[in-house]
Amino acid sequence: MFGHLLVPTDGSELSQQAVEKAVAFAREINAHITFFFVRADAEASVYGDAALLRSTDPEIFEKAADEAARSILTRAQVVANSAGINSEVLSAISDDPYEAIIAAAEDRGCDLIVMASHGHRGIKSVVLGSQTQKVLTHSKFPVLVYR
């Protein structure tokens, strides 16, 4: 039924648990996984520490953001590899992560999105709007939410 899972991850504890559950699920159904990381567009973001670092030294910001994405995706891929699951990694820059998630699922031919109910933003997502909720609302793909 499902042959290719898109698993967005932000490196949060709950997101890492979702990665582990997605790998276990993929193993049961013999599916391929694409792990996906979305980071905010440094040029457009005006919130938090990233905006401060970007304004003081954009090159350091870009390097740190790339390293963080690589680290998070590598950690996810190690989990998949240890379970014998075929996986790939993908990252994107977007100020609307939910749109990037949906686009990645479409571009990669995924048939299920598996993601955590919330990420690093936690309680802030109640105020700012949960990316998971937006994926659920706008996606034409089935979405499995890990809570």
Structural domains present in the chain? 4-146 (3.40.50.620)
- pLDDT confidence tier of residue 40, bands split at 50, 70 and 90: confident
Say how many residues make up the chain. 147
pLDDT digits (tens, 9 = 90+) for 118-137: 876 544 444 345 899 999 99
User: pTM for the full model?
Assistant: 0.87
Which pLDDT belongs to residue 44? 56
**Mean pLDDT, rounded, for 83-97:** 96
What is the CB neighbour count within 10 angstroms for residue 28? 8
Mean pLDDT of 57-65: 82
> Residue 90 and residue 81: Cα distance in Å, rounded?
16
Cβ atoms of 126 and 28 closer than 8 Å: no
- Measured distance CA(87)–CA(34) in Å, rounded: 6
The CA distance from 34 to 41, in Å, is 21
List the single range of 12-16, 40-44, 116-120 with lowest mean pLDDT.
40-44
